[in-house]
A and B are shown apart, each in its own frame.
Chain A
């Protein structure tokens, strides 16, 4: 029953997020702050992880190609496909569920514990619109983060491939350019937008509706991470089935 209750409450929160909007002059500042906190603030860790995981994907692929009949450029091809289709949109989103999700849950949850949300409600402000809507808008720039993850993943793969002596730069670039299907980018960005929505709203839900004190803020952050990850994995499966099969 509690799962059903939570699902219902989540969708009511989404509806409330678009009602009774906060004054634009105030909302604008909140959106820019959330873009800074959620998007710009995540670029460093995303760049670092993307570069090195791209490198690891390349090394693993190269080491597993033992048949001399398989051309070396397949390393670049496999890296591109892995990075664009799954690593950048899905794997980075799971990492972001930890970084951005726990930040959102703990910041909103702390506002709940310290009665700041009550203060907003007493003033007659739609607290859900005030707190969640700017995060939702900020996360609409998330595909920009994923584009950087894709680019750096492929560059990391290239560095590992060339400097690790697995193939030449020309082979790698040939592989990266081979049989490119533009719809794969569309598929990746559709997933990214869906995941961005989940990343903004599920942690907000757990922060907004949490009850208790500081300990519960920590528990809410963990629960938000778990459920955001579960929903990302589930919707990843559903979208892949719908769009690629």
Chain B
């Protein structure tokens, strides 16, 4: 479980996060949503330890990040997996080498053990035949799946995803969403996803935190987001006519 208490983050005079508190539960897909510029990416980078908040605390299963020593922070980070918006695969390595990288860095496994684990996770993300390809030879969807495989190969406790669906077609986006949700439940990890994609919100948003202007404007789930009267949320989530109709139909069906 990841617990966030009153975190503030500024860049110069610009206050990006203005006191956010929330909890991300284990075994659930937690979505952070909001408009561009609402502070989602900065929030995610604070959760990852890439940015240091000026105030507030972030604790991972009871360990307060800011109170840890540099070595303990590194150890904690080794328990995190991250899927970056642009996948962030290492260009100089093949897909198999990319996935094997965390194992080579943090485990004492033999080469054959590492290869077996890489085979397993690549099969898990439906990329059984892509071992020898370079990231530049893979499509956007494949790169995202490789990034997921790399993030989970070392059995992380926390999985972070920054816009995992950006640049993907709707069908591939659903595949990626389902994969993340399955992996979260299968390995009982705490998953935090930064997303713009309303499909993801409806499909896998077991917990949703809505940010606006650096503040938490609302939190709930994909069930409660249909019923909420919070105008800030409804203006954002149901901004298109199609989504308004979907919501209306859902509410009528429930009645």
Contact = CB atoms under 8 A, between A and B. Distances in A.
Interface stretch (B70-78, B197-205, B228-236): B70-78
B175 interface: no
Interface of B: 48-50, 70-71, 73-78, 80, 82, 84-86, 88-92, 101-102, 104-106, 160
Contact of B82 (A23, A114, A122, A126): A122
A107 to B, nearest CB: 9
A25 B104 contact: yes
List of 6 A-B pairs having minimum Cβ-Cβ separation, nearest first: A124-B77, A124-B74, A115-B88, A119-B88, A124-B78, A122-B82
Interface in A4-41: 20, 22-23, 25-26, 33
B129 to A, nearest CB: 24
Contacts, number: 58
A114 B86 contact: yes
B48 A122 contact: yes
10 contacts: A20-B70, A23-B104, A116-B90, A119-B82, A119-B90, A122-B49, A122-B82, A123-B102, A124-B74, A124-B106
B74 A20 contact: yes
A170 interface: no
A23 B103 CA distance: 11
Contacts of A124: 73-78, 80, 106
Given A20-B74, A116-B90, A118-B50, A123 B84 contact: no
Nearest to B101: A123
Nearest to A110: B91
Given A124-B74, A124-B106, 5 more contacts: A26-B105, A114-B86, A115-B86, A119-B88, A123-B82
A235 to B, nearest CB: 32
Given A26-B105, A115-B86, A122 B50 contact: yes
A20 to B, nearest CB: 7
A38 to B, nearest CB: 14
Nearest to B89: A116
Interface string A115-140: 11011011111100000000000000
Given A20-B74, A123-B78, A124-B73, A118 B105 contact: no
Contact of B88 (A22, A26, A118): A118
Contact of A115 (B70, B74, B84): B84
A115 B104 CA distance: 20
A122 B77 contact: yes
B105 A125 contact: yes
Given A20-B74, A123-B78, A124-B77, A118 B104 contact: no
Contacts of A119: 82, 84, 88, 90
